[in-house]
Amino acid sequence: MVPSIPDVIAGPRDAGGRPSRLDAVDPRSKRLPARPLVAVRGRRLVGAVLTASLLAGAAACGDSDSPDPAAGAGGESAAAGETSLEAEVAVDPGPAPEVELVEPGAGERRVLTYAPSREPATVEVTQSGTARTEVPGAQARVDETPAQTLTLEGRSEPDVDGAQRASATVREFTSVDELRAAQFSTAPGFAVTWTRGPDGIVRELGLAAPADATDVARAAVEIAANAISDATVVFPTEAIGEGARWTVTRQVDDAVAPTRVTTYELLSLDGDVAAVRLDQSAPGPSDTLTAPAPDGGPDVSLDVETYEITGSGELTVDLRAALPADGTTESSTRAVYVDPSTGKRTTYDEDSVLRFAGAD
């Protein structure tokens, strides 16, 4: 089965009068991939906000080509042998963000830039989350993603114009859920490559899947790759010191709030290792959500009563490493949509966590 967001808006229509259209549109306004790793495409996933939902949907699919849960339920190591990879597929990372220095900070200041890694570094990337959707006339749906970890070996090397070509290879996938671990057991060997400027802006993103990777494994790694790409700290081009603050504004594929603003603060700087705090918001949401109806009917237009996306966290960044060395980011989505013809509400709440931890 093709991994996708589950159809959470599948409740019954109203018992009488004009039928409600709340069951004709997914309350998550982002545009999501139908199948990963098939063609060049634009950015569709935003940080860790959607990670929990899509992985929960992928695991729930029970992919027919998934391995037997009794085999490899603890994940597999890519080190066991050579992995045959398909041709790398490019993913458009979207337009470059705008970076604005707010406060240069105190003490000694310098321009922070990424540099080639001295040696490979292994990092464990753990994702978890919960999503809840409530629709009139239907039982509330809860999708949970238990903690699951990709062990990645990352390195970076020089590219043109001062850029860095960073790469990460999946060495192992583990999960507390045996079925999920079995479904994603073909993830080891996956290669993720991104080209980033010296300031950290990702210019290109590519993924190469093992030839025997299942669809759910491809979906899981693509989502993780986007989350890691979004977690890459972008630095201002000006010299900064401890206490510096700057904003990074991105345009994303979100039909309600297409702008994300991340505010960074430099907490400490020790050689090539920087500790930063971040806060994210989605300002200026639209008052309406209009989307094609999956049932083929006319476009659906809902009033947006509430739409809040927030994120926060702290990351430890080694400027000579492909991946954050340590840290945690958390994100939340709160959305309430109203059918203007009936006044009925549908709500969507999601919380997700992304953790990095050195595994050396």
Which residue ranges make up each domain of the chain? 22-95+115-233+322-358
Mean pLDDT, rounded, of the chain: 80
Q: Could you tell me the pTM of the whole model? A: 0.78
For the cut 70, the answer to whether the pLDDT of residue 308 exceeds it is: yes
Structure-model confidence comparison of residues 135 and 7, the more confident one: 135
> Using an 8 Å Cβ cutoff, are 201 and 164 in contact?
no
% of the chain exceeding 90 in pLDDT: 58
User: What's the pLDDT tens digit per position in 157-167?
Assistant: 998 888 889 99
Question: Which secondary-structure segment (H or E) carries 254?
Answer: none
For the cut 70, the answer to whether the pLDDT of residue 129 exceeds it is: yes
> Using an 8 Å Cβ cutoff, are 191 and 165 in contact?
no
- Residue labelled with tokens 């830039």: 113
State the pLDDT confidence band at 360, using cuts at 50, 70 and 90. Answer: low
- Cα dist from 233 to 97, 155, 202, 270, whole Å: 12, 16, 10, 16
For the cut 60, the answer to whether the pLDDT of residue 64 exceeds it is: no
Q: What is the DSSP string of 48-92?
A: TTTHHHHHHHHHHT--TTSPPTTSSTT---GGGS--PBPPPEEE-
pLDDT at residue 179, rounded to an integer: 86
pLDDT at residue 130, rounded to an integer: 96
Least Cα distance to 136 among 48, 20, 226, 35 occurs for: 20
User: What's the pLDDT tens digit per position in 186-217?
Assistant: 999 999 999 999 999 999 999 999 999 999 88
> What type of residue is 119?
E
pLDDT at residue 220, rounded to an integer: 85
% of the chain exceeding 70 in pLDDT: 77
For the cut 50, the answer to whether the pLDDT of residue 19 exceeds it is: no
pLDDT at residue 199, rounded to an integer: 96
State the pLDDT confidence band at 26, using cuts at 50, 70 and 90. Answer: low
For the cut 50, the answer to whether the pLDDT of residue 170 exceeds it is: yes
pLDDT at residue 118, rounded to an integer: 83
